[in-house]
Structure 1
Amino acid sequence: MDKKELGAFLRTRRERLRPQDAGLPSGPRRRTPGLRREEVAVLAHISTEYYVRLEQGRAPRPSGEVLAGIAAALRLTGAESDHLHVLAGTAPSRTGLHRRDVRPSILALIERLPKTAAFVVSAVYDVLAWNSLAAALMEDFAELAPRDRNLARWAFLGTTDTGAELQESTHGAEFRLHVVAGLRSALARYPADPVVRGLVDELYEASSEFARLWERHDVQAVQMLTKTFRHPVVGKITVDCDSLTLDDRDQCLVLYSAPAGSPDAEALALLDVLGTQAGEFQQ
Protein backbone atom coordinates (compact mmCIF):
# COMPACT_ATOMS: atom_id res chain seq x y z
CA MET A 1 0.00 0.00 0.00
CA ASP A 2 1.44 3.34 -1.10
CA LYS A 3 -0.22 5.59 1.49
CA LYS A 4 1.29 8.85 0.24
CA GLU A 5 0.34 8.32 -3.41
CA LEU A 6 -3.08 6.98 -2.44
CA GLY A 7 -3.82 10.10 -0.41
CA ALA A 8 -2.66 12.43 -3.17
CA PHE A 9 -4.66 10.54 -5.78
CA LEU A 10 -7.85 10.71 -3.70
CA ARG A 11 -7.37 14.41 -3.07
CA THR A 12 -6.91 15.31 -6.75
CA ARG A 13 -9.92 13.19 -7.78
CA ARG A 14 -12.05 14.84 -5.08
CA GLU A 15 -11.00 18.36 -6.04
CA ARG A 16 -11.89 17.93 -9.70
CA LEU A 17 -15.55 17.09 -8.94
CA ARG A 18 -18.21 19.72 -8.78
CA PRO A 19 -20.95 19.35 -6.11
CA GLN A 20 -23.62 19.14 -8.80
CA ASP A 21 -21.77 16.16 -10.33
CA ALA A 22 -22.64 14.24 -7.16
CA GLY A 23 -26.16 15.64 -6.87
CA LEU A 24 -25.20 18.10 -4.12
CA PRO A 25 -25.97 21.83 -3.90
CA SER A 26 -22.98 24.04 -4.70
CA GLY A 27 -23.67 26.57 -1.93
CA PRO A 28 -22.10 30.03 -1.59
CA ARG A 29 -19.54 29.26 1.14
CA ARG A 30 -17.21 26.76 -0.51
CA ARG A 31 -13.61 27.81 -0.02
CA THR A 32 -11.92 24.91 -1.82
CA PRO A 33 -12.54 23.32 -5.22
CA GLY A 34 -14.46 20.10 -5.55
CA LEU A 35 -16.28 18.13 -2.91
CA ARG A 36 -15.65 18.35 0.81
CA ARG A 37 -14.10 15.33 2.50
CA GLU A 38 -17.20 14.77 4.57
CA GLU A 39 -19.32 14.73 1.44
CA VAL A 40 -17.17 12.03 -0.14
CA ALA A 41 -17.37 10.02 3.08
CA VAL A 42 -21.17 10.19 3.10
CA LEU A 43 -21.38 9.19 -0.56
CA ALA A 44 -18.94 6.31 0.03
CA HIS A 45 -20.77 5.16 3.20
CA ILE A 46 -17.67 5.44 5.40
CA SER A 47 -16.77 7.67 8.32
CA THR A 48 -15.38 11.13 7.66
CA GLU A 49 -12.51 10.46 10.05
CA TYR A 50 -11.40 7.39 8.12
CA TYR A 51 -11.59 9.14 4.76
CA VAL A 52 -9.59 12.10 6.10
CA ARG A 53 -6.92 9.70 7.33
CA LEU A 54 -6.82 8.06 3.89
CA GLU A 55 -6.11 11.40 2.21
CA GLN A 56 -3.50 12.18 4.87
CA GLY A 57 -1.76 8.84 4.34
CA ARG A 58 -2.41 7.65 7.90
CA ALA A 59 -5.14 5.03 7.47
CA PRO A 60 -4.73 1.25 7.39
CA ARG A 61 -5.38 -0.62 4.16
CA PRO A 62 -9.02 -0.20 3.05
CA SER A 63 -11.11 -3.18 2.06
CA GLY A 64 -12.29 -3.83 -1.46
CA GLU A 65 -15.80 -2.82 -0.43
CA VAL A 66 -14.57 0.52 0.91
CA LEU A 67 -12.57 1.17 -2.25
CA ALA A 68 -15.60 0.40 -4.40
CA GLY A 69 -17.62 2.92 -2.41
CA ILE A 70 -14.93 5.58 -2.76
CA ALA A 71 -14.58 4.90 -6.50
CA ALA A 72 -18.32 5.36 -6.96
CA ALA A 73 -18.37 8.53 -4.83
CA LEU A 74 -15.51 10.08 -6.80
CA ARG A 75 -16.93 9.01 -10.18
CA LEU A 76 -13.70 7.20 -11.08
CA THR A 77 -13.25 5.70 -14.51
CA GLY A 78 -12.36 2.05 -14.91
CA ALA A 79 -8.66 2.87 -15.30
CA GLU A 80 -8.75 5.17 -12.27
CA SER A 81 -10.51 2.55 -10.18
CA ASP A 82 -7.87 -0.03 -11.14
CA HIS A 83 -5.15 2.45 -10.17
CA LEU A 84 -6.87 3.06 -6.84
CA HIS A 85 -6.73 -0.66 -6.06
CA VAL A 86 -3.05 -0.84 -7.06
CA LEU A 87 -2.16 2.03 -4.73
CA ALA A 88 -4.17 0.49 -1.91
CA GLY A 89 -2.43 -2.84 -2.35
CA THR A 90 -5.61 -4.79 -3.03
CA ALA A 91 -4.82 -5.60 -6.68
CA PRO A 92 -2.36 -8.19 -7.96
CA SER A 93 0.96 -6.36 -8.27
CA ARG A 94 3.99 -6.97 -10.43
CA THR A 95 7.10 -7.28 -8.34
CA GLY A 96 10.63 -6.64 -9.48
CA LEU A 97 11.48 -5.08 -12.85
CA HIS A 98 9.38 -4.33 -15.92
CA ARG A 99 10.09 -6.58 -18.88
CA ARG A 100 12.09 -5.50 -21.91
CA ASP A 101 12.26 -8.76 -23.87
CA VAL A 102 9.78 -8.87 -26.74
CA ARG A 103 7.98 -12.09 -27.57
CA PRO A 104 9.48 -13.67 -30.75
CA SER A 105 6.06 -14.01 -32.36
CA ILE A 106 5.54 -10.24 -32.02
CA LEU A 107 8.95 -9.57 -33.58
CA ALA A 108 7.95 -11.72 -36.55
CA LEU A 109 4.53 -10.08 -36.77
CA ILE A 110 5.75 -6.49 -37.06
CA GLU A 111 8.04 -7.48 -39.92
CA ARG A 112 5.16 -9.08 -41.84
CA LEU A 113 2.68 -6.22 -41.47
CA PRO A 114 2.15 -4.60 -44.89
CA LYS A 115 2.10 -0.81 -45.29
CA THR A 116 2.09 -0.34 -41.50
CA ALA A 117 4.67 1.30 -39.26
CA ALA A 118 4.84 -0.90 -36.17
CA PHE A 119 6.86 -0.77 -32.98
CA VAL A 120 6.76 -2.12 -29.44
CA VAL A 121 7.21 0.04 -26.34
CA SER A 122 7.87 -0.97 -22.76
CA ALA A 123 5.98 0.17 -19.68
CA VAL A 124 8.27 3.24 -19.57
CA TYR A 125 8.03 4.07 -23.31
CA ASP A 126 11.33 2.54 -24.40
CA VAL A 127 11.12 1.48 -28.06
CA LEU A 128 12.08 -2.19 -27.88
CA ALA A 129 11.41 -3.35 -31.44
CA TRP A 130 10.35 -1.77 -34.73
CA ASN A 131 9.99 -2.46 -38.43
CA SER A 132 11.64 -0.61 -41.29
CA LEU A 133 8.65 1.63 -41.98
CA ALA A 134 8.55 2.81 -38.36
CA ALA A 135 12.24 3.68 -38.63
CA ALA A 136 11.64 5.62 -41.87
CA LEU A 137 8.65 7.50 -40.46
CA MET A 138 9.99 8.30 -36.99
CA GLU A 139 13.70 7.64 -36.48
CA ASP A 140 16.30 5.00 -37.30
CA PHE A 141 16.29 3.59 -33.78
CA ALA A 142 19.13 1.22 -34.66
CA GLU A 143 21.43 4.26 -34.81
CA LEU A 144 20.56 5.23 -31.23
CA ALA A 145 21.80 3.82 -27.95
CA PRO A 146 19.06 1.90 -26.05
CA ARG A 147 18.74 4.73 -23.53
CA ASP A 148 18.07 7.20 -26.34
CA ARG A 149 15.14 5.19 -27.72
CA ASN A 150 12.82 6.44 -25.00
CA LEU A 151 9.73 8.31 -26.24
CA ALA A 152 9.10 9.92 -22.86
CA ARG A 153 12.46 11.70 -22.99
CA TRP A 154 11.72 12.78 -26.55
CA ALA A 155 8.28 14.10 -25.58
CA PHE A 156 9.55 16.33 -22.75
CA LEU A 157 13.24 16.93 -23.46
CA GLY A 158 12.98 17.21 -27.24
CA THR A 159 16.10 15.32 -28.25
CA THR A 160 18.03 12.23 -27.32
CA ASP A 161 21.42 12.39 -25.61
CA THR A 162 23.04 11.96 -29.03
CA GLY A 163 21.22 15.03 -30.34
CA ALA A 164 19.03 13.08 -32.77
CA GLU A 165 15.50 14.40 -33.10
CA LEU A 166 12.50 12.19 -33.74
CA GLN A 167 10.15 13.36 -36.48
CA GLU A 168 7.93 16.18 -35.29
CA SER A 169 4.31 15.34 -34.50
CA THR A 170 1.50 17.90 -34.31
CA HIS A 171 -0.06 15.94 -31.45
CA GLY A 172 2.76 16.47 -28.99
CA ALA A 173 0.58 17.89 -26.19
CA GLU A 174 -1.79 14.94 -26.26
CA PHE A 175 1.08 12.47 -26.31
CA ARG A 176 2.70 14.14 -23.31
CA LEU A 177 -0.52 13.60 -21.37
CA HIS A 178 -0.38 9.92 -22.32
CA VAL A 179 3.23 9.66 -21.22
CA VAL A 180 2.60 11.14 -17.78
CA ALA A 181 -0.47 9.00 -17.19
CA GLY A 182 1.37 5.90 -18.36
CA LEU A 183 4.42 6.53 -16.21
CA ARG A 184 2.31 7.15 -13.11
CA SER A 185 0.57 3.81 -13.63
CA ALA A 186 3.90 2.10 -14.29
CA LEU A 187 5.40 3.49 -11.09
CA ALA A 188 2.45 2.14 -9.11
CA ARG A 189 2.91 -1.30 -10.69
CA TYR A 190 6.69 -1.36 -10.30
CA PRO A 191 7.48 0.67 -7.16
CA ALA A 192 10.81 -1.13 -6.66
CA ASP A 193 12.06 -0.76 -10.25
CA PRO A 194 14.93 1.78 -10.25
CA VAL A 195 14.55 2.40 -14.00
CA VAL A 196 10.94 3.52 -13.61
CA ARG A 197 11.66 5.73 -10.61
CA GLY A 198 14.83 7.08 -12.22
CA LEU A 199 13.03 8.13 -15.41
CA VAL A 200 10.22 9.83 -13.48
CA ASP A 201 12.73 11.70 -11.30
CA GLU A 202 14.78 12.73 -14.35
CA LEU A 203 11.80 14.15 -16.21
CA TYR A 204 10.38 15.80 -13.08
CA GLU A 205 13.63 17.69 -12.50
CA ALA A 206 14.33 18.54 -16.15
CA SER A 207 10.86 19.51 -17.39
CA SER A 208 8.52 21.96 -15.67
CA GLU A 209 5.69 20.77 -17.90
CA PHE A 210 6.21 17.16 -16.80
CA ALA A 211 6.26 18.28 -13.16
CA ARG A 212 3.01 20.23 -13.63
CA LEU A 213 1.24 17.32 -15.30
CA TRP A 214 2.63 14.83 -12.78
CA GLU A 215 1.06 16.74 -9.90
CA ARG A 216 -2.37 16.23 -11.47
CA HIS A 217 -2.19 12.49 -10.66
CA ASP A 218 -3.99 11.52 -13.87
CA VAL A 219 -3.80 7.88 -14.94
CA GLN A 220 -5.97 8.00 -18.05
CA ALA A 221 -5.72 10.25 -21.09
CA VAL A 222 -7.97 10.61 -24.11
CA GLN A 223 -7.15 7.93 -26.66
CA MET A 224 -5.26 9.21 -29.70
CA LEU A 225 -6.97 7.97 -32.87
CA THR A 226 -4.79 9.79 -35.40
CA LYS A 227 -1.34 11.33 -35.44
CA THR A 228 0.22 13.78 -37.87
CA PHE A 229 3.93 13.86 -38.65
CA ARG A 230 5.92 16.47 -40.53
CA HIS A 231 8.42 14.40 -42.45
CA PRO A 232 11.31 16.08 -44.35
CA VAL A 233 10.84 13.81 -47.39
CA VAL A 234 7.08 13.23 -47.79
CA GLY A 235 5.87 16.29 -45.87
CA LYS A 236 2.74 16.22 -43.72
CA ILE A 237 1.40 12.73 -43.19
CA THR A 238 -1.56 11.77 -41.00
CA VAL A 239 -1.86 8.17 -39.84
CA ASP A 240 -4.37 6.15 -37.90
CA CYS A 241 -2.96 5.23 -34.50
CA ASP A 242 -3.84 1.89 -32.94
CA SER A 243 -2.34 0.64 -29.69
CA LEU A 244 -2.60 -2.99 -28.59
CA THR A 245 -1.70 -4.03 -25.06
CA LEU A 246 0.54 -7.08 -24.67
CA ASP A 247 -0.58 -8.07 -21.19
CA ASP A 248 1.85 -10.92 -20.59
CA ARG A 249 4.87 -8.58 -20.70
CA ASP A 250 3.20 -5.26 -19.89
CA GLN A 251 4.18 -3.85 -23.27
CA CYS A 252 2.33 -2.13 -26.08
CA LEU A 253 2.27 -2.72 -29.83
CA VAL A 254 1.71 0.56 -31.69
CA LEU A 255 0.51 0.55 -35.31
CA TYR A 256 0.50 3.52 -37.70
CA SER A 257 -1.43 3.04 -40.94
CA ALA A 258 -3.47 5.03 -43.45
CA PRO A 259 -6.69 4.36 -45.43
CA ALA A 260 -6.02 2.53 -48.69
CA GLY A 261 -5.75 4.85 -51.69
CA SER A 262 -5.35 8.00 -49.61
CA PRO A 263 -2.47 10.47 -50.10
CA ASP A 264 -1.22 9.46 -46.65
CA ALA A 265 -1.13 5.80 -47.71
CA GLU A 266 0.85 6.80 -50.79
CA ALA A 267 3.29 8.71 -48.59
CA LEU A 268 3.70 5.66 -46.35
CA ALA A 269 4.33 3.49 -49.42
CA LEU A 270 7.03 5.89 -50.59
CA LEU A 271 8.69 5.81 -47.19
CA ASP A 272 8.49 2.02 -47.23
CA VAL A 273 10.45 2.01 -50.50
CA LEU A 274 13.01 4.56 -49.32
CA GLY A 275 13.40 2.96 -45.90
CA THR A 276 15.85 4.57 -43.50
CA GLN A 277 17.63 6.11 -46.50
CA ALA A 278 15.02 8.86 -46.17
CA GLY A 279 17.15 10.18 -43.34
CA GLU A 280 19.79 11.20 -45.88
CA PHE A 281 17.43 13.90 -47.12
CA GLN A 282 17.02 15.53 -43.71
CA GLN A 283 20.00 17.87 -44.01
Structure 2
Amino acid sequence: MTTDLAGNLRTWRDRLTPAEPGRRRAPGLRRDEIAARADVSVGYLTRLEQGHAAHPSSLVCGALARALELNLEETELLYRLAGHAPPSAERFSRELTPAAQRLLDRFDDLPVMVYDPAWEVVATNARGEWLIGPTYGNIARRHFLGPGTYIQHTPDQQHAMSASIVSDLHHSLTRFPADERLHAIVDELRRESPRFAELWEERPAAVHSSATKLVEHPVAGSFTLECDVLRVEGSDLRIVVYSAAPGTPDAEAISRFGAAEAVLSR
Protein backbone atom coordinates (compact mmCIF):
# COMPACT_ATOMS: atom_id res chain seq x y z
CA MET A 1 0.00 0.00 0.00
CA THR A 2 2.90 2.35 0.78
CA THR A 3 4.41 1.62 -2.62
CA ASP A 4 1.06 2.35 -4.29
CA LEU A 5 0.82 5.70 -2.51
CA ALA A 6 4.38 6.63 -3.44
CA GLY A 7 3.94 5.65 -7.09
CA ASN A 8 0.68 7.55 -7.47
CA LEU A 9 2.12 10.70 -5.90
CA ARG A 10 5.02 10.64 -8.36
CA THR A 11 2.71 9.98 -11.33
CA TRP A 12 0.31 12.77 -10.38
CA ARG A 13 3.18 15.24 -9.91
CA ASP A 14 4.82 14.31 -13.23
CA ARG A 15 1.69 14.99 -15.27
CA LEU A 16 1.31 18.62 -14.13
CA THR A 17 2.42 21.35 -16.51
CA PRO A 18 4.60 24.13 -15.08
CA ALA A 19 3.32 27.68 -15.55
CA GLU A 20 6.70 28.52 -17.08
CA PRO A 21 8.07 25.28 -18.52
CA GLY A 22 11.49 26.56 -19.53
CA ARG A 23 14.17 23.91 -19.88
CA ARG A 24 13.54 21.13 -17.34
CA ARG A 25 15.25 17.79 -17.10
CA ALA A 26 12.09 15.97 -15.95
CA PRO A 27 8.36 16.28 -16.74
CA GLY A 28 5.86 17.81 -14.36
CA LEU A 29 6.39 20.02 -11.35
CA ARG A 30 9.35 19.77 -9.00
CA ARG A 31 8.93 18.45 -5.47
CA ASP A 32 9.58 21.87 -3.98
CA GLU A 33 6.74 23.35 -6.09
CA ILE A 34 4.23 20.73 -4.88
CA ALA A 35 5.50 21.07 -1.31
CA ALA A 36 4.95 24.82 -1.44
CA ARG A 37 1.45 24.38 -2.86
CA ALA A 38 0.55 21.85 -0.13
CA ASP A 39 2.39 23.68 2.66
CA VAL A 40 4.47 20.63 3.60
CA SER A 41 8.22 20.24 3.76
CA VAL A 42 10.15 19.02 0.74
CA GLY A 43 11.75 16.38 2.95
CA TYR A 44 8.36 14.97 3.99
CA LEU A 45 7.08 14.93 0.41
CA THR A 46 10.28 13.13 -0.61
CA ARG A 47 9.71 10.46 2.05
CA LEU A 48 6.13 10.01 0.84
CA GLU A 49 7.19 9.65 -2.79
CA GLN A 50 9.96 7.20 -1.88
CA GLY A 51 7.71 5.06 0.27
CA HIS A 52 9.46 5.89 3.55
CA ALA A 53 6.35 7.59 5.02
CA ALA A 54 3.11 5.60 4.96
CA HIS A 55 0.21 7.46 6.50
CA PRO A 56 -0.08 11.21 5.84
CA SER A 57 -2.88 12.81 7.87
CA SER A 58 -6.26 13.56 6.31
CA LEU A 59 -5.35 17.27 6.38
CA VAL A 60 -2.17 16.57 4.43
CA CYS A 61 -4.14 14.38 2.00
CA GLY A 62 -6.53 17.25 1.33
CA ALA A 63 -3.64 19.67 0.78
CA LEU A 64 -1.89 17.23 -1.57
CA ALA A 65 -5.10 16.62 -3.53
CA ARG A 66 -5.45 20.35 -4.16
CA ALA A 67 -1.75 20.79 -4.93
CA LEU A 68 -1.76 17.88 -7.39
CA GLU A 69 -5.08 19.01 -8.95
CA LEU A 70 -6.71 15.60 -8.43
CA ASN A 71 -10.24 14.82 -9.56
CA LEU A 72 -12.83 13.22 -7.26
CA GLU A 73 -11.85 9.60 -7.95
CA GLU A 74 -8.15 10.32 -7.56
CA THR A 75 -8.78 12.20 -4.32
CA GLU A 76 -10.72 9.25 -2.93
CA LEU A 77 -7.88 6.92 -3.95
CA LEU A 78 -5.31 9.14 -2.23
CA TYR A 79 -7.27 9.07 1.03
CA ARG A 80 -7.74 5.31 0.89
CA LEU A 81 -4.06 4.66 0.14
CA ALA A 82 -3.23 6.80 3.16
CA GLY A 83 -5.62 4.78 5.35
CA HIS A 84 -8.45 7.32 5.62
CA ALA A 85 -12.10 7.42 4.59
CA PRO A 86 -12.43 9.81 1.63
CA PRO A 87 -14.04 13.18 2.39
CA SER A 88 -16.88 12.50 -0.04
CA ALA A 89 -18.08 9.64 2.16
CA GLU A 90 -20.50 11.86 4.08
CA ARG A 91 -23.04 13.37 1.66
CA PHE A 92 -23.40 13.41 -2.10
CA SER A 93 -23.83 16.41 -4.36
CA ARG A 94 -26.90 16.88 -6.60
CA GLU A 95 -25.32 19.78 -8.44
CA LEU A 96 -25.63 19.46 -12.20
CA THR A 97 -22.00 19.64 -13.25
CA PRO A 98 -20.86 21.31 -16.50
CA ALA A 99 -20.00 17.83 -17.85
CA ALA A 100 -23.53 16.56 -17.18
CA GLN A 101 -25.04 19.67 -18.73
CA ARG A 102 -22.89 19.22 -21.84
CA LEU A 103 -24.17 15.67 -22.22
CA LEU A 104 -27.76 16.84 -21.86
CA ASP A 105 -27.16 19.45 -24.56
CA ARG A 106 -25.22 17.11 -26.81
CA PHE A 107 -27.88 14.37 -26.85
CA ASP A 108 -30.68 16.77 -27.73
CA ASP A 109 -32.01 14.27 -30.30
CA LEU A 110 -32.38 11.51 -27.67
CA PRO A 111 -34.26 11.26 -24.36
CA VAL A 112 -31.81 11.82 -21.50
CA MET A 113 -32.33 11.79 -17.74
CA VAL A 114 -29.92 12.63 -14.89
CA TYR A 115 -30.40 11.14 -11.43
CA ASP A 116 -28.50 11.13 -8.14
CA PRO A 117 -27.39 8.28 -5.77
CA ALA A 118 -30.80 8.42 -4.04
CA TRP A 119 -32.40 7.79 -7.47
CA GLU A 120 -33.96 11.26 -7.51
CA VAL A 121 -34.27 12.79 -10.99
CA VAL A 122 -32.13 15.92 -11.14
CA ALA A 123 -32.69 16.98 -14.76
CA THR A 124 -33.97 15.86 -18.16
CA ASN A 125 -33.71 17.29 -21.63
CA ALA A 126 -36.85 18.06 -23.71
CA ARG A 127 -37.11 14.58 -25.22
CA GLY A 128 -36.43 13.02 -21.84
CA GLU A 129 -39.37 14.94 -20.38
CA TRP A 130 -41.53 13.74 -23.27
CA LEU A 131 -40.56 10.14 -22.50
CA ILE A 132 -40.73 10.10 -18.69
CA GLY A 133 -42.99 13.08 -17.90
CA PRO A 134 -42.29 16.44 -16.24
CA THR A 135 -42.84 15.27 -12.64
CA TYR A 136 -40.95 12.02 -12.57
CA GLY A 137 -39.63 12.39 -9.01
CA ASN A 138 -37.76 9.49 -7.46
CA ILE A 139 -37.15 6.46 -9.67
CA ALA A 140 -36.87 4.01 -6.77
CA ARG A 141 -40.11 5.25 -5.17
CA ARG A 142 -42.06 5.00 -8.43
CA HIS A 143 -40.62 1.56 -9.14
CA PHE A 144 -41.63 0.07 -5.78
CA LEU A 145 -44.64 2.21 -4.80
CA GLY A 146 -45.98 3.68 -8.05
CA PRO A 147 -47.42 5.33 -9.95
CA GLY A 148 -46.04 3.40 -12.88
CA THR A 149 -44.30 4.85 -15.92
CA TYR A 150 -44.55 4.42 -19.67
CA ILE A 151 -41.70 1.88 -19.47
CA GLN A 152 -42.90 -1.71 -19.21
CA HIS A 153 -41.01 -4.62 -17.63
CA THR A 154 -41.22 -8.37 -18.03
CA PRO A 155 -41.17 -10.28 -14.71
CA ASP A 156 -37.43 -10.95 -15.15
CA GLN A 157 -36.75 -7.29 -15.95
CA GLN A 158 -38.85 -6.20 -12.96
CA HIS A 159 -36.81 -8.41 -10.63
CA ALA A 160 -33.51 -7.27 -12.14
CA MET A 161 -34.49 -3.61 -11.83
CA SER A 162 -35.61 -4.09 -8.22
CA ALA A 163 -32.37 -5.86 -7.32
CA SER A 164 -30.23 -3.22 -9.00
CA ILE A 165 -31.97 -0.37 -7.16
CA VAL A 166 -31.58 -2.08 -3.78
CA SER A 167 -27.96 -3.01 -4.45
CA ASP A 168 -27.13 0.51 -5.58
CA LEU A 169 -28.79 2.11 -2.55
CA HIS A 170 -26.80 -0.21 -0.27
CA HIS A 171 -23.63 0.88 -2.03
CA SER A 172 -24.57 4.55 -1.89
CA LEU A 173 -25.18 4.38 1.87
CA THR A 174 -21.73 2.85 2.27
CA ARG A 175 -20.23 5.76 0.38
CA PHE A 176 -22.42 8.48 1.89
CA PRO A 177 -23.40 7.28 5.40
CA ALA A 178 -24.46 10.73 6.64
CA ASP A 179 -26.68 11.71 3.70
CA GLU A 180 -30.19 12.43 4.98
CA ARG A 181 -31.84 12.05 1.55
CA LEU A 182 -30.47 8.53 1.15
CA HIS A 183 -31.64 7.50 4.60
CA ALA A 184 -35.06 9.04 3.96
CA ILE A 185 -35.78 7.13 0.73
CA VAL A 186 -34.43 3.85 2.13
CA ASP A 187 -36.47 4.20 5.34
CA GLU A 188 -39.60 5.05 3.36
CA LEU A 189 -39.25 2.09 1.00
CA ARG A 190 -38.45 -0.35 3.81
CA ARG A 191 -41.57 0.85 5.61
CA GLU A 192 -43.95 1.02 2.63
CA SER A 193 -42.76 -1.74 0.28
CA PRO A 194 -42.57 -5.36 1.53
CA ARG A 195 -40.67 -6.31 -1.63
CA PHE A 196 -38.04 -3.62 -1.04
CA ALA A 197 -37.74 -4.61 2.64
CA GLU A 198 -37.23 -8.25 1.64
CA LEU A 199 -34.55 -7.41 -0.92
CA TRP A 200 -32.88 -4.98 1.47
CA GLU A 201 -32.23 -7.83 3.91
CA GLU A 202 -31.01 -10.10 1.10
CA ARG A 203 -28.46 -7.48 -0.07
CA PRO A 204 -28.47 -8.52 -3.75
CA ALA A 205 -25.32 -7.95 -5.78
CA ALA A 206 -26.56 -6.28 -8.95
CA VAL A 207 -25.54 -3.41 -11.21
CA HIS A 208 -27.86 -0.96 -12.95
CA SER A 209 -26.54 -1.06 -16.51
CA SER A 210 -27.66 -1.17 -20.13
CA ALA A 211 -30.99 -2.81 -20.94
CA THR A 212 -33.74 -2.95 -23.56
CA LYS A 213 -36.97 -1.19 -22.56
CA LEU A 214 -40.47 -1.55 -24.00
CA VAL A 215 -42.28 1.79 -23.90
CA GLU A 216 -46.07 2.20 -24.01
CA HIS A 217 -46.43 5.91 -24.70
CA PRO A 218 -49.87 7.61 -24.77
CA VAL A 219 -48.94 9.58 -27.90
CA ALA A 220 -46.24 7.60 -29.70
CA GLY A 221 -47.62 4.13 -28.99
CA SER A 222 -45.44 1.06 -28.44
CA PHE A 223 -41.74 1.07 -29.24
CA THR A 224 -38.48 -0.35 -27.90
CA LEU A 225 -35.44 1.60 -26.74
CA GLU A 226 -31.97 0.78 -25.54
CA CYS A 227 -31.25 2.25 -22.11
CA ASP A 228 -27.61 3.02 -21.28
CA VAL A 229 -26.39 4.27 -17.89
CA LEU A 230 -23.38 6.59 -17.93
CA ARG A 231 -21.30 7.86 -15.00
CA VAL A 232 -20.23 11.49 -14.89
CA GLU A 233 -16.53 11.79 -14.04
CA GLY A 234 -15.96 13.97 -11.00
CA SER A 235 -19.63 13.79 -10.01
CA ASP A 236 -22.01 11.55 -8.06
CA LEU A 237 -24.66 11.81 -10.79
CA ARG A 238 -25.64 9.18 -13.34
CA ILE A 239 -27.03 9.78 -16.82
CA VAL A 240 -29.53 7.55 -18.60
CA VAL A 241 -29.62 7.80 -22.39
CA TYR A 242 -32.44 6.16 -24.38
CA SER A 243 -31.73 5.36 -28.02
CA ALA A 244 -32.75 3.19 -30.96
CA ALA A 245 -31.00 1.95 -34.08
CA PRO A 246 -31.10 4.61 -36.84
CA GLY A 247 -33.77 4.11 -39.49
CA THR A 248 -36.00 1.90 -37.33
CA PRO A 249 -39.61 2.66 -36.36
CA ASP A 250 -38.37 3.01 -32.78
CA ALA A 251 -35.95 5.75 -33.77
CA GLU A 252 -38.72 7.41 -35.79
CA ALA A 253 -40.93 7.45 -32.70
CA ILE A 254 -38.28 9.37 -30.76
CA SER A 255 -37.63 11.76 -33.62
CA ARG A 256 -41.20 12.52 -34.67
CA PHE A 257 -43.13 12.57 -31.42
CA GLY A 258 -40.28 13.81 -29.24
CA ALA A 259 -39.67 16.81 -31.49
CA ALA A 260 -43.36 17.73 -31.57
CA GLU A 261 -43.69 17.48 -27.78
CA ALA A 262 -40.56 19.60 -27.28
CA VAL A 263 -42.04 22.34 -29.48
CA LEU A 264 -45.39 22.26 -27.62
CA SER A 265 -43.68 22.50 -24.21
CA ARG A 266 -41.86 25.75 -25.06
Aligned partners of 2:91 and 2:178 also within 8 Å: yes
Which residue, 175, 188, 191 being the options, matches 1:205? 191
Aligned CA-pair RMSD: 2.5
Aligned partners of 1:132 and 1:276 also within 8 Å: yes
Partners of 2:144 and 2:231 lie apart in 1 by: 23
Partners of 1:213 and 1:149 lie apart in 2 by: 22
Shift of 1:236: 1.5
Greater Rg, structure 1 or structure 2?
A: 2
Which residue, 115, 140, 143 being the options, matches 1:152? 140
Distance 1:113 1:224, change over 3 A: closer
Name the TM-score, length of structure 1 as normaliser: 0.58
Specify the code of the residue in structure 1 equivalent to 2:239.
Answer: L
Q: Which runs of 5+ in 2 are unaligned?
A: 1-79
Aligned partners of 2:130 and 2:261 also within 8 Å: yes
Specify the code of the residue in structure 2 equivalent to 1:184.
Answer: H
1:263 alignment partner in structure 2:
249
Specify the code of the residue in structure 2 equivalent to 1:242.
Answer: D
Aligned partners of 1:244 and 1:252 also within 8 Å: yes
2:149 alignment partner in structure 1:
166
Distance 1:255 1:168, change over 3 A: closer
Distance 1:168 1:243, change over 3 A: closer
Name the TM-score, length of structure 2 as normaliser: 0.62
- Is the partner of 2:234 in helix, strand or coil? helix
Q: Does 1:185 align with 2:171?
A: yes
Q: Which runs of 5+ in 1 are unaligned?
A: 1-85, 160-164
What is the number of residues matched between the two proteins?
A: 181
1:54 alignment partner in structure 2:
none
Shift of 1:186: 0.5
Distance 1:93 1:219, change over 3 A: farther
Shift of 1:211: 0.7
Aligned partners of 1:238 and 1:258 also within 8 Å: yes
- Is the partner of 1:149 in helix, strand or coil? coil
Shift of 1:181: 1.1
- Percent of pairs identical after alignment? 31
Specify the code of the residue in structure 2 equivalent to 1:178.
Answer: S
Q: Does 1:131 align with 2:125?
A: yes
Shift of 1:96: 2.6
1:101 alignment partner in structure 2:
95
Specify the code of the residue in structure 2 equivalent to 1:169.
Answer: Q
Q: Does 1:244 align with 2:230?
A: yes
